[in-house]
């Protein structure tokens, strides 16, 4: 059963790996056992995707694979070859922020900000499938993400406000337009 | 944190997967199957029994699928939760697994084959070195078990999968495949009471799917789980209970199974048989709970102390029965 | 070509008409004038404002700056009554009222750096990627306690890809966050003191190689007997974990001991109700999401830049200079974004030294990032504690005495422990007036990861015990616990029993608000079994009166520099560390408010020690109070320059001018005015960019006894929470349903952040009360060094929190503000404990109150009452006794007393003790010979000391030598 630990480096074969990252086809050379999180951070420079606990209990490394939230610290990169991956960097369209980003900034959903990328992609995916979630549905969607600063309340507030902005039912309206606004909002 | 290096094989069909497994077996190369990775990857990162080869079955479509009577090994837990096909008891148990993020990766097969857990084991290499390792992952030292000291025969790491008791209560059959052969068995026969071997899977063999009897749709049940937080935590104890009801309303079957108390999930046929099949089974919830409490043998290797987990077995059993009874009535 | 010709023209013109003599003549005069500048005579011939060469096109007249071309009118609702506005001031005027422009203070303001965070562009420790970086990895001890006989790095160094190794010999200098207890080294010199202690480090081309190489470092140990139980730390040991030389206390592992006795101790004997309980608190970790990470880089000129997520960059700066043996000016500490601190990133850390050492050896940038397990080994979390709490009340329902004995488990190093030992006592001498206070405390070293400062530093555990005790006493006295508290509060502008100067107090309002909003009267002791409601209060410092490093003597606590160039944007240089709490935002708000600017004209440079004035960092809840105060005084200087300039342009007296949204105008006639930029450019005429510096230091205060400075603060925050819980009596699990959380932060400069802090504090405190603990097994190993085993509440455990902000308008705080970051954590623990009692009648004295522990208590309660099913437990009922009416009356009298005092600009002195008949205007020790102030135990005490008090049985080595 047990044997001496295997060498960590060397020996593993490398391969050229490609996937659509935030809408852009990207290639890089990976080791076969590389986890998606390592590929994103070290290979592709998506430093917005964070490493918090390494075992799926903080959600900081959450990303979207074909639009669905997944934990990149537990996903082998080879398993998602060729798929469409969205990280926090892919949520905004140029200067035009996704409503969830605007609302996390304005409603206190982000304090230290380290867990924020994970919460953002998870919430964006929620609003994508369910644009008008109840507070309970929003809480259920973020149960796999850990925040130590906010106590979650202002995060759920942010999701609810973003929902209003997205659906145009009450709440704040976007101040910029997708991909067309050369003059980003002042401030922030 | 990095895993040790390993070779990944990514077959796209079951037969290809089994062929790879067979050839690795022939070369005497140790390997692991990986489906969702939520159990295996952290263990590898911690250096717990990593293997040099890993066969990923996430590309094998024929292992998926969720229907009323059949669920593929690669069915993701969250898909089971959201499926309109899956039996409500299975969906309930699946919904209680870890967190929604982990359920999106985790699979049925992975949850059934979940490695056993122990706080002397699920630690980093440096940590385990400080206690001079343990029996389950002894790094060649022949170390003793740290839970039951002075022996290195038995591993008492705890099985903490949520789905097994629910499936057992539905009399699920598990189907295994290896190159050139398949076999199936009642789910309760799949597990072995040993924290290391855990189940009957032979090298090169894989779980393909589980099958439910046709009458499973007429069964109503509940899964009660003991855990500290409502997300992430493994069951410190879990009890499923089901009642089969014939069309005339008479009780056709009663089942109870538990998880999280021992190295093996258990179906408690002996306890259930004392209930008979009369209409008043629900009145005996209190007694049955007390009997389950006497029956389970938790050890000190998870978050809650064993004394507490044992006592909670009776509460879980009673609540599962009460809840099942309610569901029968409302159906 | 034509373009070029035009330009030549311009140059020619300039050459022939260079006359602008006014500029030259005024340089000397104006340079040093600020307010007095209006005395400069304006020559009639001088063209005022925007001049241009004759015949040339005008420059565009300056806009107003900011995103809107129009200036918003001052909103009278944001202007205080004292300035003629409509903003109510129930707590009286404030010295900063005249600076209010109504722009940002008091408005919900998004964090100034939030857009970076939501786009993933915020750079945290591990996100600093420099060209040519290599990876460092630490070699950690797998022994609890051992002498290091040898460290062999030859095998590791020989590995391909390994560039350098280092061991303790590379950096023999000791360091530590407190100058009095420097007991840490970059790497172990002589001994390792806990599992995970650092022995050596390696640097390699990539992470995988570094990991293998770190496993190839061979260490030879000689094991020593470890101690894990803090009580063993009080005993003499063959091998004390540290050696303090002549100051060593006995041969024990006592790192610090405190003895304090104040008041009339004899009154305790006349008590009619007493609560005495021995509490156990498990250690708690900060649990921030970002693991520690650091990048060190020596630039080609030989200067070190250290990128690190730090709460206190300045102390790292000092420690680096000591350890690397280079002058401080050769180091630039660059604070990255900090992924949560809570006190856990406020020590200078060994790994930061290691990165610098490896980078010096290799000449390459070195990055070290922790695994989660290493975060737990570094720890510095809340001390595991054993606290014996006794509270006594007399027949009039006054707290005649509090006796506390606190033994705290410091783990392997001193860290902030010196201060923690004091805080466990002195931070519960308020908000109540008490007859006597007796505190004994001791901190011991054990072979576990070091404890340190964590949100609510030192106050949390003993506060929980006090507040639960008060609940119990009110039950004994037959009164409502809120009434009991309201009848025993210190008034505003008073001194506590240990001599802390308390200025503003919003405690009464906090209690009254939560009582009303929670519908307390309808619920307390009136709900069915399993449902309960409870109250708890808190009191915390808003900045520490004495900084940790106070050499040179008169160095200010905080300094802020402002620079405004012709573009009109304000660059704020501050060393305050934004760790997510919003310090950049609040400093920016203070400046924006005074200058009447929108937040987008403010930019904060707070990251690098090269460009930021020294600031003592984000701890002790000091940033808003001290840094914003410094920012206000810097902004006042600029404001004065602007007003002078405007006055000279408008020919109006300075006193008649006010600032509004990017405009300076006549207060009486707002149409008469000029834009901010015009005034600015006028003010810049002779000197270019305006610069200003503001600083803050605390006023002199407090008593003179040993330890009097600990807990001394320029202001204190107060809070009261009510929690409603649902307890499952069959499993012992607690679900907190709702929390009403009132916090007195003086003035909410940014209500959005204050609410965020209150709710976040509830979450963190809730963790400590229901689930979080650093669990050590029988072998002394930490069993849960990961985020699965370390049980931080998930979204499902989180109750609905109703944040209630109480604004008591602190006279010295910036615009009246005090802290809101730590104090709000304190009350949630006792509020939940007391609610659990209300629900099921079980009092706890052990945290966390995990289901298994609560269930055991329920079983005990059942067997005591002869009940077999816990669902039949009776829950407590309230029968009010006559004292209740007396307390209500006293509370009412005190309420009007307090209202008078808070509005009185020079209230009479009030010393703790008046409630007990002491003459109010003198410290009671001056009137009453029985009123003690004692900080060294007497023989009588030592005959029968309490647990922590027994640390005083040891003699320091130096005294032993003298007596031998």
Mean pLDDT of C106-111: 96
Instruction: Write the residue in C140, C794, C856 that is nearest to B126 by C-beta.
Output: C140
Number of CB atoms found within 10 A of residue C165's CB: 25
Domain topology for B1-59: 3.30.43
Q: Are residues C17 and C61 in the same domain?
A: yes
pLDDT, residue C11, reads: 36
How confident is residue C65, by pLDDT bands cut at 50, 70 and 90?
low
Instruction: Write the residue in C144, C373, C791 that is nearest to B228 by C-beta.
Output: C791
Q: Are residues C112 and C140 in the same domain?
A: no
Instruction: Write the residue in C371, C373, C851 that is nearest to B228 by C-beta.
Output: C851
CB < 8 Å from C in window 37-96 of A: 45-55, 57-58, 60, 87-89, 91-92
Please indicate, yes or no, if residue C261 is contained in any of the structural domains.
no
Q: Are A145 and A126 in contact (CB under 8 A)?
A: no
The whole-angstrom distance between residue C683's C-alpha and the CA centroid of its chain comes to 38
| Contacts with B121 from chain C: Cβ below 8 Å | none
Pairing between β-strand C366-369 and β-strand C134-140 as defined by DSSP bridges? parallel
Phi, psi of C354, rounded to the nearest 5 degrees: -60, -45
Identify from A14, A148, A154, A156 which residue to disrupt to test chain C contact, counting C C-beta atoms within 10 A and taking the largest count.
Answer: A148
Residue A10 has pLDDT above 50, yes or no: no
Phi, psi of C352, rounded to the nearest 5 degrees: -70, -40
How does pLDDT run across C254-310, given as a tens digit for each residue?
A: 999 999 999 999 889 989 999 999 999 999 999 999 999 999 999 999 999 999 999
pLDDT, residue C72, reads: 85
Q: Do C289 and A89 touch (CB under 8 A)?
A: no
Residue C59 has pLDDT above 80, yes or no: no
Residue C659 has pLDDT above 60, yes or no: yes
Q: Are A166 and A99 in contact (CB under 8 A)?
A: yes
Mean pLDDT of C411-425: 96
CATH tag, A14-87:
3.10.20.30
Round to whole Å and give the CA distance between C510 and C804: 8
pLDDT, residue C779, reads: 95
> 3-state class of C443 per DSSP?
strand
pLDDT, residue C20, reads: 34
Residues of chain B with confidence (pLDDT) below 70: none
Q: Nearest chain B Cα to C789, which residue?
A: B303
Say which CATH number the domain at C857 has. Answer: 3.30.365.10
pLDDT, residue C963, reads: 57
Which residues, including other chains, have CB under 8 Å from residue C1's CB and lie 6 or more apart?
A: none
Q: Is some CB atom of chain A closer than 8 A to the CB atom of C288?
A: yes
Q: Do A57 and C341 touch (CB under 8 A)?
A: no
Comma-separated ranges of CATH 3.30.43.10 domains in chain B = 1-59
Quote the domain boundaries for residue C319: 125-227+285-378
pLDDT, residue A1, reads: 34
Identify from B287, B303, B304 which residue to disrupt to test chain C contact, counting C C-beta atoms within 10 A and taking the largest count.
Answer: B303
Residue C443 has pLDDT above 80, yes or no: yes
Which residues, including other chains, have CB under 8 Å from residue A46's CB and lie 6 or more apart?
A: A21, A40, A87, A89, C120
- Count structural domains, chain C: 3
Provide ipTM, 2 decimals. 0.96
CB < 8 Å from C in window 255-314 of B: 303-305, 307-308, 311-312
Instruction: Write the residue in B5, B99, B136 that is nearest to A33 by C-beta.
Output: B5
> How near does any CA of chain C get to the CA of A155, in Å?
10
| Contacts with B305 from chain C: Cβ below 8 Å | 852
Q: Tell me the H-state helices in C244-312.
A: none
Q: Is some CB atom of chain B closer than 8 A to the CB atom of C784?
A: yes
Cα C126 to Cα A51, A113, B252, C536, distances in angstroms: 9, 14, 60, 40
| Contacts with A14 from chain B: Cβ below 8 Å | none
Domain topology for B218-330: Enolase-like; domain 1 (3.30.390)
Task: Kindly list the partner chains of chain B, i.e. chains with 3 or more CB atom pairs below 8 Å.
Answer: A, C
> 3-state class of C108 per DSSP?
coil
Q: Is some CB atom of chain B closer than 8 A to the CB atom of A67?
A: no
Q: Nearest chain B Cα to A51, which residue?
A: B1
Q: Identify the bridge partners of residue C914 per DSSP, sorted by sequence position.
A: none
Q: Do A2 and B138 touch (CB under 8 A)?
A: yes
Q: Are residues C44 and C176 in the same domain?
A: no
Is residue C621 packed enough to be buried (19+ CB in 10 Å), middle (13-18) or exposed (0-12)?
buried
Residue C340 has pLDDT above 90, yes or no: yes
Please indicate, yes or no, if residue C946 is contained in any of the structural domains.
no
How does pLDDT run across C624-647, given as a tens digit for each residue?
A: 999 999 999 999 999 999 999 999
Q: How many residues does chain B have?
A: 331
Buried-exposed string A165-187: b where 16+ CB fall within 10 A, e elsewhere: bbeeeeeeebebeeeeeeeebeb
Q: Are residues C33 and C137 in the same domain?
A: no
How confident is residue C27, by pLDDT bands cut at 50, 70 and 90?
very low
CATH tag, A99-167:
1.10.150.120
Q: Identify the bridge partners of residue C538 per DSSP, sorted by sequence position.
A: C719
Residue C163's nearest CA partner among C202, C201, C111 is C202
Phi, psi of C399, rounded to the nearest 5 degrees: -80, 95
Q: Are C166 and C214 in contact (CB under 8 A)?
A: no
Q: Are residues C79 and C150 in the same domain?
A: no
Q: Is some CB atom of chain B closer than 8 A to the CB atom of C143?
A: yes
Round to whole Å and give the CA distance between C97 and C79: 8
Is residue C738 packed enough to be buried (19+ CB in 10 Å), middle (13-18) or exposed (0-12)?
middle
How confident is residue C123, by pLDDT bands cut at 50, 70 and 90?
very high
Q: Is some CB atom of chain B closer than 8 A to the CB atom of C851?
A: yes
Mean pLDDT of C921-944: 91
Cα C285 to Cα B234, C105, C350, C450, distances in angstroms: 21, 34, 18, 11
Round to whole Å and give the CA distance between C344 and C382: 9
Q: Do C338 and A58 touch (CB under 8 A)?
A: no
Cα B75 to Cα B88, B207, C358, distances in angstroms: 16, 12, 48
Comma-separated ranges of CATH 3.30.390.50 domains in chain B = 218-330
How does pLDDT run across C579-614, given as a tens digit for each residue?
A: 999 999 999 999 999 999 999 899 999 999 999 999
> How near does any CA of chain B get to the CA of A7, in Å?
6
Q: Is some CB atom of chain C closer than 8 A to the CB atom of A186?
A: yes
Residue C208 has pLDDT above 50, yes or no: yes
Instruction: Write the residue in C120, C211, C286 that is nearest to A87 by C-beta.
Output: C120
Q: Residue C621, CB half-sphere, CA atoms under 13 Å: how many?
A: 30
Q: Residue B133, CB half-sphere, CA atoms under 13 Å: how many?
A: 19
> How near does any CA of chain A get to the CA of C80, in Å?
26
Instruction: Name the token pair of C853.
Output: 């522990």
How does pLDDT run across A55-77, given as a tens digit for each residue?
A: 999 999 999 999 999 999 999 99
Phi, psi of B291, rounded to the nearest 5 degrees: -70, -40
Q: Identify the bridge partners of residue B182 per DSSP, sorted by sequence position.
A: B177
Q: Nearest chain B Cα to A9, which residue?
A: B5
Q: Is some CB atom of chain A closer than 8 A to the CB atom of C567?
A: no
Q: Are residues C208 and C341 in the same domain?
A: yes
Residue C29 has pLDDT above 50, yes or no: no
Q: Are residues C68 and C115 in the same domain?
A: yes
Q: Are residues C660 and C743 in the same domain?
A: no
Residue C57 has pLDDT above 90, yes or no: no
Q: Are residues C115 and C150 in the same domain?
A: no
Residue C727 has pLDDT above 80, yes or no: yes
Instruction: Name the token pair of C109.
Output: 């303001």
Q: Do C120 and A186 touch (CB under 8 A)?
A: no
Residue C147 has pLDDT above 90, yes or no: yes
How does pLDDT run across C863-911, given as a tens digit for each residue?
A: 999 999 999 999 999 999 999 999 999 999 999 999 999 998 888 999 9
Is residue B89 packed enough to be buried (19+ CB in 10 Å), middle (13-18) or exposed (0-12)?
buried
pLDDT, residue A95, reads: 80
Q: Are residues C691 and C730 in the same domain?
A: no
Q: Do A55 and B45 touch (CB under 8 A)?
A: yes
Residue C575 has pLDDT above 90, yes or no: yes
Round to whole Å and give the CA distance between C391 and C401: 6
Mean pLDDT of C753-761: 98
Round to whole Å and give the CA distance between A138 and A118: 14
Number of CB atoms found within 10 A of residue C412's CB: 27
Q: Are residues C168 and C116 in the same domain?
A: no
Q: Is some CB atom of chain A closer than 8 A to the CB atom of B99?
A: yes
Please indicate, yes or no, if residue C923 is contained in any of the structural domains.
no
| Contacts with B37 from chain A: Cβ below 8 Å | 74-76, 79
Mean pLDDT, chain A, rounded, equals: 89
Q: Identify the bridge partners of residue B241 per DSSP, sorted by sequence position.
A: B222, B256
CB < 8 Å from C in window 20-39 of A: none
Q: Nearest chain A Cα to C372, which residue?
A: A53
How confident is residue C44, by pLDDT bands cut at 50, 70 and 90?
very low
Q: Are residues C116 and C129 in the same domain?
A: no
Mean pLDDT, chain C, rounded, equals: 91
Residue A183 has pLDDT above 60, yes or no: no
Comma-separated ranges of CATH 3.10.20.30 domains in chain A = 14-87
Cα C385 to Cα C392, C547, C942, distances in angstroms: 22, 26, 22
């Amino acid at each position: 059963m047990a044997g001496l630990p295997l060498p960590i480096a060397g020996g593993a074969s490398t391969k050229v790996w490609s996937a659509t990252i935030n809408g852009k086809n990207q290639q890089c050379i990976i080791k076969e056992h590389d986890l998606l999180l390592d590929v994103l951070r070290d290979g592709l420079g998506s430093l917005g995707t964070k490493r918090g606990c390494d075992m799926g209990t903080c959600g900081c490394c959450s990303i979207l694979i074909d639009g669905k939230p997944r934990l990149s610290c537990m996903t082998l990169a080879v398993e998602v070859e060729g798929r469409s991956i969205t990280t926090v960097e892919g949520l905004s369209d140029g200067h035009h922020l996704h409503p969830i980003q605007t609302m996390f900034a304005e409603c206190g959903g982000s304090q230290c900000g380290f867990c924020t990328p994970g919460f953002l992609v998870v919430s964006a995916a929620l609003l994508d499938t369910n644009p008008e979630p109840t507070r309970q549905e929003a809480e259920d969607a973020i149960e796999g993400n850990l925040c130590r600063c906010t106590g979650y309340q202002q995060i759920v507030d942010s999701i609810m406000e973003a929902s209003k902005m997205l659906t145009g039912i009450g709440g704040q309206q976007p101040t910029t337009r997708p991909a067309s606004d050369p003059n980003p909002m002042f401030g922030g | 944190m990095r895993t040790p290096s390993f070779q990944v094989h990514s077959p796209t069909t079951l037969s290809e997967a089994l062929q790879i497994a067979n050839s690795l077996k022939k070369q005497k190369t140790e390997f692991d199957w990986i489906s969702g990775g939520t159990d295996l990857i952290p263990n590898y990162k911690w250096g717990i029994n990593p293997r040099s080869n890993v066969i990923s079955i996430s590309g094998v479509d024929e292992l998926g699928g969720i229907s009323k009577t059949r669920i593929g090994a690669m069915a993701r837990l969250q898909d089971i939760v959201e499926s309109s096909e899956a039996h409500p008891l299975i969906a309930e148990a699946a919904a209680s697994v870890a967190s929604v993020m982990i359920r999106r990766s985790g699979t049925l097969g992975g949850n059934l084959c979940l490695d056993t857990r122990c706080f002397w084991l699920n630690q980093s290499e440096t940590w385990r070195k400080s206690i001079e390792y343990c029996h389950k992952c002894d790094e060649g030292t022949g170390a003793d078990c740290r839970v039951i000291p002075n022996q290195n025969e038995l591993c008492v790491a705890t099985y903490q999968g949520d789905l097994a008791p629910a499936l057992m209560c539905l009399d699920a059959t598990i189907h295994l495949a290896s190159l050139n052969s398949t076999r199936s068995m009642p789910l309760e026969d799949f597990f072995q009471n040993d924290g290391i071997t855990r189940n009957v899977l032979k090298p090169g063999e894989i779980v393909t799917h589980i099958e439910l009897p046709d009458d499973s749709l007429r069964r109503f049940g509940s899964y009660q789980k003991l855990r500290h937080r409502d997300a992430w935590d493994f069951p410190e104890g879990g009890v499923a209970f089901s009642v089969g009801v014939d069309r005339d309303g008479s009780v056709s079957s009663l089942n109870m199974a538990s998880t999280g108390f021992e190295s093996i999930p258990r179906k408690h046929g002996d306890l259930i048989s004392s209930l008979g099949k009369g209409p008043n089974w629900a009145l005996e919830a209190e007694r049955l709970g007390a009997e389950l409490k006497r029956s389970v043998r938790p050890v000190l290797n998870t978050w809650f102390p064993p004394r507490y987990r044992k006592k909670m077995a009776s509460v879980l059993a009673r609540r599962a029965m009460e809840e099942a009874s309610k569901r029968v009535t409302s159906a | 070509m034509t373009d070029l010709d035009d330009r030549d023209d311009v140059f020619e013109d300039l050459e022939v008409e260079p006359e602008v003599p006014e500029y030259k003549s005024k340089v000397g005069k104006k340079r040093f004038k600020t307010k007095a500048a209006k005395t400069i005579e304006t020559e009639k011939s001088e063209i005022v404002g925007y001049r241009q060469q004759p015949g040339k096109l005008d420059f565009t007249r300056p806009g107003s700056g900011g995103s809107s071309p129009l200036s918003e009118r001052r909103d009278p609702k944001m202007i205080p009554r004292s300035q003629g506005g409509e903003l109510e001031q129930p707590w009286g005027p404030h010295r900063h009222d005249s600076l209010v422009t109504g722009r940002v203070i008091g408005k919900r303001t998004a964090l100034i750096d939030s857009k970076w965070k939501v786009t993933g562009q915020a750079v945290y420790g591990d996100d600093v990627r420099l060209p040519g970086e290599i990876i460092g990895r630490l070699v950690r001890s797998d022994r609890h306690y051992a002498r290091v006989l040898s460290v062999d790095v030859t095998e590791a160094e020989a590995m391909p890809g390994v560039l350098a190794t280092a061991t303790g010999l590379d950096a023999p200098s000791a360091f530590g966050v407190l100058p009095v207890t420097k007991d840490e080294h970059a790497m172990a010199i002589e001994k390792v003191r806990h599992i995970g202690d650092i022995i050596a480090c390696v640097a390699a081309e990539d992470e995988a190689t570094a990991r293998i190489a770190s496993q190839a470092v061979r260490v030879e140990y000689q094991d020593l007997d470890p101690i894990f139980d803090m009580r063993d730390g009080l005993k003499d040991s063959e091998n004390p974990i540290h050696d303090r030389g002549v100051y060593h206390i006995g041969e024990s592992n006592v790192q610090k001991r405190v003895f304090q006795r104040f008041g009339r101790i004899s009154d305790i004997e006349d008590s009619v109700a007493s609560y005495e309980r021995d509490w156990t608190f498990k250690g708690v970790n900060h649990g921030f999401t970002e693991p520690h990470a650091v990048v060190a880089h020596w630039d080609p000129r030989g200067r070190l830049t250290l990128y690190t997520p730090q709460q206190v960059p300045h102390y790292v700066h000092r420690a680096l200079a000591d350890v690397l043996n280079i002058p401080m000016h050769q180091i630039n500490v660059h604070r990255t974004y900090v992924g949560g601190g809570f006190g856990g990133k406020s020590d200078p850390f060994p790994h930061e030294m290691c990165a610098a050492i490896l980078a010096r050896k290799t000449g390459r940038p070195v990055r070290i990032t922790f695994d989660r397990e290493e975060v737990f080994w570094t720890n510095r979390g809340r001390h595991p504690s054993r606290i014996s709490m006794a509270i006594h009340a007399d027949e009039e329902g006054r707290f005649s005495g509090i006796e506390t004995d606190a033994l705290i488990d410091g783990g392997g190093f001193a860290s902030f422990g010196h201060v923690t030992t004091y805080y466990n006592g002195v931070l519960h001498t308020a908000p109540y007036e008490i007859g006597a206070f007796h505190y004994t405390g001791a901190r011991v070293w054990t072979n576990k990861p070091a404890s340190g400062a964590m949100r609510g530093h030192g106050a949390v555990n003993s506060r929980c015990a006090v507040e639960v005790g008060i609940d119990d006493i009110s039950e004994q006295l037959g009164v409502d616990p809120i009434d009991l508290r309201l009848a025993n509060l210190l008034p505003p502008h008073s001194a506590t029993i240990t001599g802390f100067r308390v200025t503003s107090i919003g405690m009464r309002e906090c209690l009254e608000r939560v009582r009303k909003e929670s519908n307390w009267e309808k619920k307390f002791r009136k709900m069915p079994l399993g449902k309960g409601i409870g109250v708890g209060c808190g009191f915390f410092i808003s900045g520490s009166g004495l900084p940790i490093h106070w050499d040179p003597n008169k160095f200010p606590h905080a300094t802020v520099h402002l620079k405004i160039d012709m573009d009109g944007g304000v660059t704020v240089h501050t060393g305050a560390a934004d760790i997510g709490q919003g310090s950049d935002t609040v400093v920016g708000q203070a400046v924006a408010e005074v200058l009447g600017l929108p937040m987008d004209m403010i930019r904060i440079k707070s990251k690098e020690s090269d460009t930021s004035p020294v600031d003592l960092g984000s701890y002790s809840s000091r940033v808003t109070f001290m840094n914003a105060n410094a920012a206000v005084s810097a902004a006042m200087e600029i404001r004065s320059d602007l007003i002078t300039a405007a006055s000279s342009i408008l020919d109006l007296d300075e006193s008649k001018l006010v600032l509004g949204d990017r405009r300076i105008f006549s207060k009486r006639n707002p149409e008469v005015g000029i834009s901010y930029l015009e005034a600015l450019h006028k003010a810049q005429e002779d000197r270019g960019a305006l610069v200003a510096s503001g600083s803050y230091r605390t006023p002199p205060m407090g008593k003179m006894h040993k330890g009097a400075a600990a807990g001394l603060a320029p202001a204190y925050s107060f809070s009261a929470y009510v929690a409603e819980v649902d307890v499952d009596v069959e499993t012992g699990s607690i679900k907190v349903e709702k929390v009403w959380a009132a916090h007195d932060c003086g003035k909410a400069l940014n209500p959005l952040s204050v609410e965020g802090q209150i709710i976040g504090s509830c979450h963190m405190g809730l963790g400590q009360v229901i689930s979080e603990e650093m669990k050590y097994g029988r072998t002394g190993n930490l069993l849960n060094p990961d985020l699965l085993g370390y049980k931080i509440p998930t979204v499902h455990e989180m109750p609905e929190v109703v944040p209630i902000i109480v604004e008591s308008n602190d006279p010295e705080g910036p615009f009246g503000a005090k802290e809101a970051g730590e104090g709000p954590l304190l009350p949630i623990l006792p509020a939940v404990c007391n609610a659990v009692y209300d629900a099921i009648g079980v009092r706890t004295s052990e945290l966390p109150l995990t289901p298994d522990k609560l269930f055991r208590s329920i079983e005990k309660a059942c067997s005591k009452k002869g009940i077999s099913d816990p669902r039949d437990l009776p829950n407590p009922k309230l029968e009010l006794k006559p004292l209740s009416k007396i307390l209500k009356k006293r509370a009412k009298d005190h309420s009007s007393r307090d209202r008078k005092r808070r509005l009185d600009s020079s209230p009479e002195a009030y010393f703790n003790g008046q409630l007990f008949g002491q003459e109010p205007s003198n410290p009671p020790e001056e009137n009453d010979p029985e009123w003690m102030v004692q900080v060294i135990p007497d023989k009588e005490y030592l005959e029968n000391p309490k647990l922590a008090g027994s640390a005083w049985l040891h003699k320091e080595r130096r005294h032993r030598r003298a007596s031998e």
